[in-house]
Structures are given as C-alpha cells and as structure tokens.
Amino acid sequence: MNQVHALTDLSAREAAEQMARGELRATDYAQALLARAEAIAPFGALLHLDAGQLLAAAAALDASPRPAPGAQPLRGVPLAFKDNIDVADMPTTAGSPWMADHRPRVHAGVTQRLIDAGALVLGKTNLHEWSQGVTGHNHGFGPSRNPFDSTRITGGSSGGNAALLGLRAAPAAIGTDTGGSVRVPAALCGLVGYRPTVHRWPDDGLVPISPTFDTAGVMARCVDDCVLIDHAVAGGPLRLGAMPLMGVRLGVPEAYFWEELDPPVAELARESLRALQAAGAVLVPCDLAEAGALFQEGSMSISLHEILPALAAYFARHQRPFDARALTDAVASPDVRPLFERLFGDSAVTPEAYAHALNVLRPRMQAAYRDCFARHDIAALVFPTSPLTAARIGEDVQVTLCGRPTSAFSAYIRNTGPAGMAGLPAVSLPIGLTRDGLPAGLELTGPEGADSLLLALALGVESALPHAPVPGALQGLARS
C-alpha cells in the first residue's frame, strides 16, 4: 500500500499524534484525504468541498509553531460536518436545494469547539432532506451510497458521513442524532456512532428537528476517536482505558428491542453476546418494553410539534425569513413531504397532545430507564442497533422485515428511537458482516450523564468483538 492510502487509514488520534510529533505534515494528510474524497465522489458523500480552503489552512498550520502538548488535541485533523451543522462561510443546506444559498456567518457551537481544538474542516456531507428520514436517500442532491454495496442505502439521516468514513476519506465526522441519525448509518456501514447525553454538546447552530431530542454526535471507525472528539467538545477525558468486561453487568431487554429482527442480524447479534460472555460480561435479562411502547406513543407528537418553532428560531438566528409552507412546497424527497404536510391543519399535533407526550410520557420513559439501570445494577443496555441491514436505494417508504412489508422509517429507528426520546447516551458498534456481506451494529445505551463510563465500556466491548469490517470497494481504490 502506498503512502497516500496509508495516511487515509489513520485514525483521528493517530493522525493528530503524528502531526504533534512533527512526523506528518498537515498538508500531506489533507492532500491524501482530498484525493480519496475525489475518488469516491460517486458514493454521494459530500455536498460541499473547498479543497483550496482546506489546503491553505493546513499549510498555515505547517508554517506555525506547534502548540504546547495537549493544547490542541485535534490540530491538523480534517473533520467532515453533516450539512445541517453550521460552518461559517460554507453552505448549510440541511439537505434541501431550497437552502442552497444559506451561508452562515458564525460556527455552530460544536464546530467552534472542534476548531478551537485544532481541527480543520474537510467539507459538508450529504444527508436525508431536512434530516427527516432514515435511508440517506436525498432526492434533491442524490443518495449517499453504502460503502459495502453502492446499490444500497447508508442509513440516515447522517448518511454522507457514513460513506465518507467507510471509504477512508475522513477519520471522523460530526453528525446529528434525534432518533438514530448517527447510530443507524454507523450500524449499516460498519462504523462506530456515539450519541451523547442530550445537551452535553452545544445545541446552537444545528438545523433542528426537536430541541428535546436533538444532539450533535460523532461517527468514526473506532471508539477511541469518539473519546477524543468528546474531549474536545464536552471536556471529557482525553484518554480512556477500556473497561474490563469481567463481571460487568449488561442488560438484555428481550421484549421489544430483541423482537422482530431479520435473521442475519439476529445471528450476528447473538454471536456478539456470546463473545461478551466469553470475555466475562454478565448478561442480565431485563424488561424495557414500556420504554418502547412510550416511544411509539409519544415521540412523533413531540418532534412534529417542535420542528416549526425550532426552525423559525434557527432562521431568526441567521436573520432569514421563515415561510413554513414555502419550505414544505419545496421539499424534493417524496418520503419527507408527508411529514411536513402533517404540520398543518387538522393533522397537526395539538398543544394538548404535545404537552401530554412531553410532560407525562417522556418522564415516564426516563423513569423506566432509571429504574431498569438501578434495579438490575447494569452498566448499559445491549441490543441490535437496527433490526435489519441496508435496504436497496429507492426503498424509502417500505422495506421487508422478517419476510413482511413494513414502514422503513419505523423499522430503522425502532431500537434507536427510545434513547433519543429519553435523552440518553448511546454508542453503536460494528459486529461484522451478514452472510450477504452487509454490516450490522450493536447498541450500548447508558444512564443519563454517564457518557465517559459508557465510552470506556464501549472500548472494552470493542476489544471483545471482531475487528470492524472493511469495504471491498477499498481494494479498487488501493489499486487506483
């Protein structure tokens, strides 16, 4: 493998440490990633790329004195940002052609903290339009494509991140997660996805869906890079040791979370549980069906009621006029338009239904989680991130699960949605490939605010599982 390809395989921490020691120039690293990004353009990962701006920023770093050790832990590392996260002087389209002229003048809070930590901006990535979908098929800008099979979805809504990371055109990427938009594409593309406790990371400068559920998060190829990014954004530990699994109690919520799994996913997930047991983990059966039921009952009432006021506030932040009906009329994706149409007239969520979901159902769900963690003395819950693998591009509305047609949206967020509604931290880890060569993921959900402990546990779990799968498409890129 030549030097360019070796550089693209570096983790974020490896690249940062090599640059801090003077062993790697930021310019050389940026050029390697840009070359890879150009080579994978057909996978639809990026919506905006300014190579000149990135190379100029890298050259400026190379020409400047290196800071004191630890002062900028991401110095010189190019990160990608989902295109619903503001990066000053770059477009933020939220995946909508209607927003193509929108260039924020200030960074989102999460962007600013990462830049303060020395990170560079690689570009803005593709997403499901307005983040209102789980496939990553954007009908305005084109779909993002799965690194393991370009005819299949990445998952969404942070799908461009998954394509970019899987094909080694970035070491890490920042997305957003409302009901699974970081974790679902991570699972479907053989990556790690970390959703922090809600409000642990800054919320400003994110094109919103639901302020109650929304958070930025990180996708990477290893848990350690999630630790590094969380340190830069939220002040978590710079390094974490892997939690030894011997004696660690992991809750297995069989009802709801382990039901109706496609057999290939179920097989991989059960194998993963056996690997965790072999490493010493104690698997504790527990019942969280109530959380699933409350999610099904209340989540859409909250998100559909909050989105228009939240979008109005975002537009006001940028001194842009907001016309909800014009936005809806301009939606390009046929699976997204019905969601916006539900915001008007008799189909709109009533204030009473919203108040009940927010003030009764959500607290009841959070209490169910707290009780489950305490009663069973468990460090985390463990279950398949997604009940099925990546569908064919174009299967936006309906997929086949366990041999039966079902809603694509409901199927893909069934297991990830409850943690989003409850505001809990969660990590999706790759667990290998099914027999047809498609990745699946295993989610760890932790108690509120226990992010660093959850990441340490994820490091331990990662070490007990098979190495993350490598897309076959990389072989062709290595020969190019």
Residues 234-248 have pLDDT tens digits of: 999 999 999 999 999
Q: Please tell me the distance from the alpha carbon of residue 133 to that of residue 148, in angstroms, as a whole number.
A: 21
Run of H or E residues at 406: strand 404-407
Q: What is the pLDDT of residue 475?
A: 80
pLDDT of 435 over the 50 cut: yes
Mean pLDDT of all residues in 315-330:
96
Q: What is the pLDDT of residue 479?
A: 47
Q: What is the pLDDT of residue 1?
A: 40
Contacts of residue 117, Cβ cutoff 8 Å, sequence gap at least 6: 72, 73, 74, 75, 232
pLDDT tier, 3 (very low <50, low <70, confident <90, very high otherwise): low
Residues 249-260 have pLDDT tens digits of: 999 999 999 999
Q: Please tell me the distance from the alpha carbon of residue 74 to that of residue 71, in angstroms, as a whole number.
A: 9
Percent of the chain at pLDDT > 70 equals 98
Give the number of other Cβ atoms within 10 Å of residue 100's Cβ.
Answer: 12
Q: How many residues does the chain have?
A: 480
Q: What is the pLDDT of residue 137?
A: 97
Query: DSSP characters for 314-342?
Result: HHHHTT----HHHHHHT---TTTHHHHHT
Q: What is the pLDDT of residue 480?
A: 44
pLDDT of 2 over the 70 cut: no
Whether the Cβ atoms of residue 41 and residue 5 lie closer than 8 Å to each other: no
Q: What is the mean pLDDT of the chain?
A: 96
Q: What is the pLDDT of residue 245?
A: 98
Q: What is the pLDDT of residue 473?
A: 87
pLDDT tier, 478 (very low <50, low <70, confident <90, very high otherwise): low
Residues 395-416 have pLDDT tens digits of: 989 999 999 999 999 999 999 9
Q: Is the peptide bond prior to 157 cis by the omega test (within 30 degrees of 0)?
A: yes
pLDDT of 19 over the 90 cut: yes
pLDDT of 107 over the 80 cut: yes
Percent of the chain at pLDDT > 90 equals 96
Q: Please tell me the distance from the alpha carbon of residue 458 to that of residue 302, in angstroms, as a whole number.
A: 30
Catalytic positions, written as ranges? 82, 157, 181
Mean pLDDT of all residues in 195-215:
98
Q: Please tell me the distance from the alpha carbon of residue 134 to that of residue 127, in angstroms, as a whole number.
A: 9
Residues 38-91 have pLDDT tens digits of: 999 999 999 999 999 999 999 999 999 989 988 999 999 999 999 999 999 999
